Amino acid sequence: METPVHDADRMRVAEILRKSRRILLTTHARPDADGIGSGLGLCLGLRAMGKEAWMYNPDDIPAHLQFIPGRQYFTRILPRDLFDAVVLCDAAYFDRVRNGFLTQVKHRRAVVIDHHDPHPDPRVISWVDQNAGAVGEMAWLLLKDLQAPINSETATALYVSLISDTGSFRYESTTPRSMRIGAELLEAGVNPWAVASRLYESTPLPKMKLVARLIDGMKLSPCGRVAAFVMTEELIRATGASEDHLQGVVNYARSIEGVELAMMVREVEGGSAVTIRSRGNVSALGFADIYGGKGMPNAASFHLGRPVEQALDSVFETALRIADGQSMPLAEAAE
């Protein structure tokens, strides 16, 4: 549900954009589908209003997101012009774009549009809606406030943001509003299968080969609730996979029936990087916390100063204890 506070913040942001002529959109470094989709969607919508809008990020649009419309307005070179407004999408702090970003770009107003934690600094003009499944939802509402002409390209960019951050309307972040906005974006000309096939059914062959090898060599607990695999440099080389392809491979282990805690142990300099994914009552964050790691309830990570095989054995044992301790009460309660 939207609160009046959000409405006031949204109106304030809309007012700033209405008055701005040159606008620079941006998102956090190593951008994802929500940041790029909402940023380029806003960029296209604002351009349709006759404004001069650009999107900047120090990192390139990831290969699997290059199809998002509007990339002709994306730049990795920090523009030197003066902007009436700089707008950060999908992050609270401008330093997440790059260190000192706000001091490096000439601007009159700085604006944050985000759906994470409320912005701690009241002096920053921010609209934060934690109930938004994706920032693309917020961008859509904003463009409607501004009565921006919205064509199928703008709608497609926003739709990419929406289905990515809601897991195609599967995650708990999905609300009736997410689905209503999804419907409106389809009415504005989005081809849902064209987008879904680019996002979810275009896995590069090396990645598929990598996943096959990993699942084949995966360690699975007798109870079937804990799964773990080791990612070595040799395996990456042997399958021809690239860094991009490692994104999300741990989710394949979590997606196996019965698995509640999945781990990827990767060979890195000085030891192992452990990535955790969980579901149900098992907390990935609680697990990572034991090792001084960080993350979100169902996705966390930490570093361990041991070689991968040793690290795997050690975390596997801990994982079994955690899965036992945290899942049984839920299972009992369900009976």
Choice from 14, 17, 36, 90 touching Mn ion (CB under 5 A): 90
Stretch that binds Mn ion, among 90-98, 117-125, 264-272, 281-289 (CB under 5 A): 90-98
For residues 114 and 267, which CB has a smaller minimum distance to Mn ion in the complex? 114
Binding segment for Mn ion among 4-12, 33-41, 124-132, 217-225 (CB under 5 A)? 33-41
How near is the Cβ of 115 to Mn ion at its closest, in Å?
6
CB of 145 to Mn ion, least distance (A): 20
Torsion of CA 279, 179, 110, 96, to 10 degrees: 20
Q: Is there binding between residue 9 and Mn ion (CB under 5 A)?
A: no
d(CA 208, CA 60) in angstroms, rounded, equals 23
Contact call for residues 260 and 282 (beta carbons, < 8 A): yes
By beta carbon distance, the residue nearest Mn ion is 34
CA proximity to 227, closest of 111, 315, 101:
315
Least Cβ distance, residue 29 to Mn ion (angstroms): 14
To Mn ion, the closest distance from the beta carbon of 95 in angstroms equals: 17
The residues, ordered by sequence, that sit 6+ positions from 333 with a Cβ below 8 Å of its Cβ are none
Examine residue 129 and tell whether it contacts Mn ion (CB under 5 A).
Answer: no
| Dihedral in degrees, nearest 10, Cα atoms 146, 152, 153, 158 | 60
Which burial class, exposed, middle or buried, applies to 231 when counting CB atoms under 10 A from its CB (0-12, 13-18, 19+)?
buried
Quote the CA–CA distance of 77 and 209 in Å, as a whole number.
Answer: 35
Interatomic CA distance for residues 302 and 287, integer angstroms: 9
**Which of 16-24, 28-36, 99-107, 215-223 is the region at the interface with Mn ion (rule: CB under 5 A)?**
28-36
Between 90 and 153, name the residue whose CB sits nearer to Mn ion: 90
Q: Which of 6, 14, 34, 199 binds Mn ion (CB under 5 A)?
A: 34
Least Cβ distance, residue 128 to Mn ion (angstroms): 12
Q: Cβ 88 to Mn ion, closest distance in Å?
A: 12
Distance CA 179, CA 166 (A): 10
User: Which C-beta is closer to Mn ion: that of 93 or that of 291?
Assistant: 93
User: Taking Cα atoms as reference points, which of 276, 247, 246 lies closest to residue 261?
Assistant: 276
Q: Which is nearer to Mn ion, 90 or 129 (CB)?
A: 90
* Interatomic CA distance for residues 201 and 185, integer angstroms: 21
Phi-psi region of 187 (alpha: psi -120 to 50; beta: other; left: phi over 0): alpha
Q: Which stretch binds Mn ion (CB under 5 A): 157-165, 176-184, 190-198, 284-292?
A: 157-165
Q: Which residue intervals of the chain are DSSP H helices?
A: 4-19, 33-48, 101-104, 135-145, 152-165, 176-187, 192-200, 205-216, 233-239, 249-254, 284-290, 308-334
Of the residues 9, 137, 153, 165, which one makes contact with Mn ion according to CB under 5 A: 165
Stretch that binds Mn ion, among 49-57, 82-90, 101-109, 243-251 (CB under 5 A): 82-90
Nearest CB to Mn ion, comparing residues 34 and 267: 34
Q: Nearest approach, Cβ of 212 to Mn ion (angstroms)?
A: 30
**Residue 261 in 3-state DSSP?**
strand
Nearer residue to Mn ion within complex by CB, 129 or 165: 165
- Shortest Å, Cβ 175 to Mn ion: 14
Q: Which residues bind Mn ion (CB under 5 A)?
A: 34, 90, 165
